[in-house]
Amino acid sequence: MTVLARRLFLALFAVLTLATPALAAGRAPVILVSIDGFRAEYATRGLTPTLAALAADGAWAPEGMRPSFPVNTFPNHYTLITGLRPDHNGLTDNTMYDAARPGVKFSMGARDQVQDRFWWDGGEPVWVTAERAGVKSFIMFWPGSEAEIHGVRPSQWSVYDEALPAFDRVDRLLGWLDLPAAERPGYMTLYLEDLDTTGHHEAPDSEALNQALGRVDAALARLTAGLKARGLYGKVNLIVVSDHGMAPTAPDRVIFLDDLAPMDAVTVVTIGTVSGFIAKTPEAEAALLGEHAHLACWRKAELPARFQYGTHPRIPPIICLPETGWVLTTREWAARRPPPRPGGSHGYDPEDPLMRALFVAHGPDIRPGSLLPVFDNVSVYPLIMRLLGLPARPNDGDPEATAPALR
């Protein structure tokens, strides 16, 4: 090689190293897929052959992954990518208030709040650390990805669009892998909510739910087929998770808040399954606290220690938790809704097997045939960071919980 040729080679190598640090370091890209509401048990129904194939040739937690409290969508999605429990990452529930923003209510449907970093800066998601290290992150619909968290955005992100079909989402992700090497992401996410929606409306043991499992598996089949067509199957680390499970509910398993305390003496922050309240009078507080039929209520500082929840200022002063399958509501709210029917919900005790979430991993850095015992979902984050070759931020996870899944 001539001196000129060598200089050109070194210059090109330097450019590629700066442009694609994950690949230059010998790291395989990571794709994190969330199937919202996928109860761990669903994977044993024989209706998801693509998922079963990934599990058989990769790592699987057969009895599921334990979600964090409260067992709701936004808190657990943010826990998965920060390694921090909701009590520490600030996403304390799907609905929140903060004294620093008087009169402002955060909710999943409040676009201006979802896009405000104020609510998210309590944690540092994978993509923020990755982008700062030069690893491009392309994020599809993951909670938090619409905000400029710590002043950093993913290289690509999208405003959540529930109407975008699952196959179109998969095709968009596969298109990212068709980009020139210097533009290709090292970290990607995909989010699918069909199963959660069906589980709420039709119940987790319904035929409709089983059909939704088929649709979810078809989306995974499209993803794996696309990877194979590109020669990338087995060369990309694929992690498939869910945020929580799903329990059956019924019209005769309803608790009315009105029967516990006067409604004009209670401010409702969240209600349904795990619920949060502000009592306006000592009498209302006394009426709420304690054991009730199919319901327990605590001051937030007195919650069972195993919930690891109750210190963050965004958590309401009183937290109530129904028994699994029961729903807390108000008579006024119930009167405005259609007659109740069997359905499903989450937000119950994270120790209940019905709340356990999915975990499957497959790829060049995953040990085939590895079976993991039940572990806490905070430990997904250190696994992702290890696969990316990036230093994990301080977190609540245990790297040893998923270490057996690694080659």
Cα 64 to chain centroid, rounded: 14
Assess contact for 320 and 328: CB atoms under 8 A.
yes
What does the pLDDT read at residue 25?
57
| CATH code for residues 11-246+351-405 | 3.40.720.10
Segments in the chain below pLDDT 50: 1-24
CATH code 3.30.1360.180 region(s) in the chain: 251-341
Asked if omega into 373 is within 30° of 0 (cis), the reply is no
Residue 225: which H helix or E strand, with range?
helix 207-229
Strands (E) in 251-315, as ranges, are 254-256, 266-270, 275-279, 290-292, 295-299
Structure tokens that stand for 228 in this block: 């194979």
CATH of domain 251-341: 3.30.1360.180
Distance, C-alpha 28 to centroid of its chain = 22
Every domain of the chain with CATH number 3.40.720.10 lies at 11-246+351-405
Tell how far CA 397 is from the center of its chain.
15
- Could you tell me which residues come within 8 angstroms of residue 387 by beta carbon, excluding any fewer than 6 positions away? 27, 28, 30, 237, 363, 365
pTM check: above 0.75? yes
Q: Provide the β-strand partners of residue 292.
A: 295
**Helix, strand, coil percentages for the chain (3-state, nearest 5):** 40, 20, 45
Catalytic sites, residue numbers:
73
Output the CA torsion 202→206→208→211 (10° steps).
140
Amino acid at 267: T
- What is the residue type of 221? A
Look at the block and give the residue holding tokens 């327990």. 296
Task: Please give the DSSP secondary-structure letter assigned to residue 43.
Answer: G
Q: What is the pLDDT of residue 18?
A: 37
Residue 107's pLDDT is 95
pLDDT in tens, 101-130: 999 999 999 999 999 999 999 999 999 999
